[in-house]
Chain A
Amino acid sequence: MEIFTQLGNVFVELFKASGIMSLSWENYVMIVISFMLMYLAIKKQYEPLLLLPIAFGMMLVNIFPGIMGNPETTYLTYDQMIAQNLDPESYIKTTLSDGSVVYNVTQNGGLFYYLYQGVHLGIFPPLIFLGIGAMTDFGPLIANPKSFILGAAAQIGIFITFIGAILIGFQTKEAGSIAIIGGADGPTAIFVTSKLSPELLGPIAVAAYSYMALVPIIQPPIMRLLTTKKERSIVMGQLRPVSKLEKIIFPIVVVVLVAILLPDAAPLVGMLMLGNLFKESGVVDRIAKTAQNELMNIVTIFLGVTVGATASGTLFLTPKTLGIIALGLAAFCLGTACGVLFGKIMCWATKGKINPLIGSAGVSAVPMAARISQKVGQEENPANFLLMHAMGPNVAGVIGSAVAAGVLISVLK
């Protein structure tokens, strides 16, 4: 009979320790949201490489918050150590001012706490940029450097959103972190937020990656609204071939210029261009391949799950998050609109040689935004191939958003 009582007690204790008793309603809401994100990643294939680990990390942390738990140190007396079956010789001893001796018993943090240090210390975003650089062909940008204007124009949305965030009541550092969502560049958004307002990392990263995933839905209506049928039908001339030497010099020139003018942008731009130099130099093929594949994939996994794990229910489900999501969308739309409008100006200035649709690709989101320019252009003229032309502003947008990030960090930190 006693066995049954003990068995009952075991089940009661297990039930008390289970998530059913310890989780709040916010955790359950976040678990449902994570399921929706997983659905979008798997079924709709919206940025699955990032959305899937983010959603899974979100789910895990809301089921088991301890996975993100900080390491803790408790101070025990000799008697307490013996009572807990701990060997005092194995722990660091501290003598207090009153002469008593305590032992420092350190409890390790959760798995994601340690992985998250790569985000918290700003290590992962530059490593992601290294991989992006090793995969990017800056040829279209070198062939048509005027694309840089479109990459810069699309960053205006960032600074306009900053004003909007201040008007709504966000603090300046928070506003800077929210505004960078308009750069449509996940690693940049994480990098800036980890420097300015790390407490907002969860909602900002989720908003940034969600909008990047929703580029095919958000951008086309804005592009159609701001352009005429005639403008969308413009066929652009073929780009000149770019020599290997030009491609090798490009990353060095960009790093020297950007790092001198804006040292805060140096980690992002530096790693981006280092990756590109690996690729273009052609002498470190193995390193270039590692940066493109293994390193990029490993960092993506760590970045994705830990960013998702910052979205625990109690921190995420606040009115602030709604503000971030709304402002992030505004930043993204403004960036797209500014890019297209500058595209129109360039179209007018070149007497119709530039299709304004490539301006929307200036918001980064490589290569999705360039693909959207191609798709919308082809709707009007099936024989029109804008992809390579749009890749110029697209990669310029990566550099532009890193420069904008440098401006935000240097002014607001």
Chain B
Amino acid sequence: MENMQLALSLLLAGFLIVFTVLVTLIIIILIYGKIIQKAQKTVAVRREKKAIIRVEELQSQSPASDVPAGGKVFGDDPEQIPGEIIAVIAAAVDALYGEKPHRIRSVTRERKGRSSWGSAGVFQNTRPF
């Protein structure tokens, strides 16, 4: 009889506690989800506005600003970068920032040093636990 009472009280207590904890989690997740979504939306809108303003500014400064004053379109030394490579880089940039207003101002070669594979190896072996 005593065990039965314990069993019934455990049924009720267990039911209530499990539901209370999980319902509290629902409420918390809904609240912080809303806050984060709102914050991220605000940041996105702000960035978009900034980008639009910048494009408008650039357009008002120089309608034909694709060609800088120096006459060179890309890079420090455009002769060394073939046009096809520049086209591929431009396509990649467009794929990444396609929806946002963007413009490629220069394409420069990365300074020579340790290769990417070498850097990755050093990074892997020196990263702390």
The docked-state distance in angstroms from the alpha carbon of A65 to that of B96 is: 64
For residue A270, give the distance in angstroms from its CB to the closest CB of chain B. 14
What residue in chain A is nearest B21 (Cβ atoms)?
Answer: A403
Interface mask (A162-180 → B, CB under 8 Å = 1, otherwise 0): 1100110001100100000
- Residue among B14, B17, B33 with max Cβ neighbours from chain A (10 Å): B14
User: Chain B: how many interface residues by the 8 Å CB criterion?
Assistant: 29
From A21-29, A103-111, A201-209, A257-265, give the one contacting chain B: A257-265
Q: Is the CB of B32 within 8 A of A243?
A: no
Q: Is A359 an interface residue (CB 8 A)?
A: no
Q: Is the CB of B22 within 8 A of A250?
A: no
User: Chain A: how many interface residues by the 8 Å CB criterion?
Assistant: 42
What residue in chain A is nearest B28 (Cβ atoms)?
Answer: A253
The docked-state distance in angstroms from the alpha carbon of A242 to that of B24 is: 20
The docked-state distance in angstroms from the alpha carbon of A9 to that of B4 is: 61
Q: Is the CB of B7 within 8 A of A257?
A: no
Residues of B within 8 A of A258 (CB): 21
For residue A256, give the distance in angstroms from its CB to the closest CB of chain B. 9
Known: A145-B26, A151-B22, A246-B32. A411 touches B4 (CB 8 A): no
Q: Is the CB of B36 within 8 A of A163?
A: no
Interface mask (A142-168 → B, CB under 8 Å = 1, otherwise 0): 100110110110011011101100110
For residue A41, give the distance in angstroms from its CB to the closest CB of chain B. 32
The docked-state distance in angstroms from the alpha carbon of A411 to that of B127 is: 46
Residues of A within 8 A of B10 (CB): 159, 162, 407-408, 411-412
For residue B3, give the distance in angstroms from its CB to the closest CB of chain A. 5
The docked-state distance in angstroms from the alpha carbon of A245 to that of B7 is: 42
Q: Is the CB of A145 within 8 A of B15?
A: no
Q: Is the CB of B3 within 8 A of A158?
A: no
Interface mask (B101-128 → A, CB under 8 Å = 1, otherwise 0): 0000000000000000000000000010
Q: Is A399 an interface residue (CB 8 A)?
A: yes
Q: Is the CB of A400 within 8 A of B29?
A: no
Residues of A within 8 A of B11 (CB): 159-160, 162-163
Residues of B within 8 A of A286 (CB): 127
The docked-state distance in angstroms from the alpha carbon of A249 to that of B33 is: 10
For residue A403, give the distance in angstroms from its CB to the closest CB of chain B. 5
Q: Is A404 an interface residue (CB 8 A)?
A: yes
Known: A162-B11, A262-B17, A411-B10. A253 touches B32 (CB 8 A): yes
Q: Is B25 an interface residue (CB 8 A)?
A: yes
Residues of B within 8 A of A403 (CB): 17-18, 21-22
Please tell me which one of the listed residues B8, B15, B22, B37 contacts residue A148 in the complex, with CB atoms under 8 A apart.
Answer: B22
Residues of A within 8 A of B15 (CB): 156, 159
Residues of A within 8 A of B20 (CB): 261
Q: Is the CB of B14 within 8 A of A408?
A: yes
Interface mask (A20-59 → B, CB under 8 Å = 1, otherwise 0): 0000000000000000000000000000000000000000
Q: Is B23 an interface residue (CB 8 A)?
A: yes
Q: Is A298 an interface residue (CB 8 A)?
A: no
Residues of B within 8 A of A175 (CB): 7
The docked-state distance in angstroms from the alpha carbon of A149 to that of B8 is: 22
Residues of A within 8 A of B36 (CB): 243, 245-246, 249
Q: Is the CB of A158 within 8 A of B14?
A: yes
Q: Is the CB of A257 within 8 A of B25?
A: yes
Q: Is A254 an interface residue (CB 8 A)?
A: yes
Q: Is the CB of A257 within 8 A of B29?
A: no
Q: Is B65 an interface residue (CB 8 A)?
A: no
The docked-state distance in angstroms from the alpha carbon of A400 to that of B24 is: 12
Residues of B within 8 A of A399 (CB): 22, 25
Q: Is the CB of A172 within 8 A of B6?
A: yes
Please tell me which one of the listed residues A142, A166, A396 contacts residue B7 in the complex, with CB atoms under 8 A apart.
Answer: A166
The docked-state distance in angstroms from the alpha carbon of A385 to that of B25 is: 26
Q: Is B73 an interface residue (CB 8 A)?
A: no
For residue B36, give the distance in angstroms from its CB to the closest CB of chain A. 5
Residues of A within 8 A of B29 (CB): 141-142, 145, 250, 253
Q: Is B42 an interface residue (CB 8 A)?
A: no
* Residues of chain B in range 33-66 having any CB-CB distance to chain A below 8 Å: 33, 36-37, 40
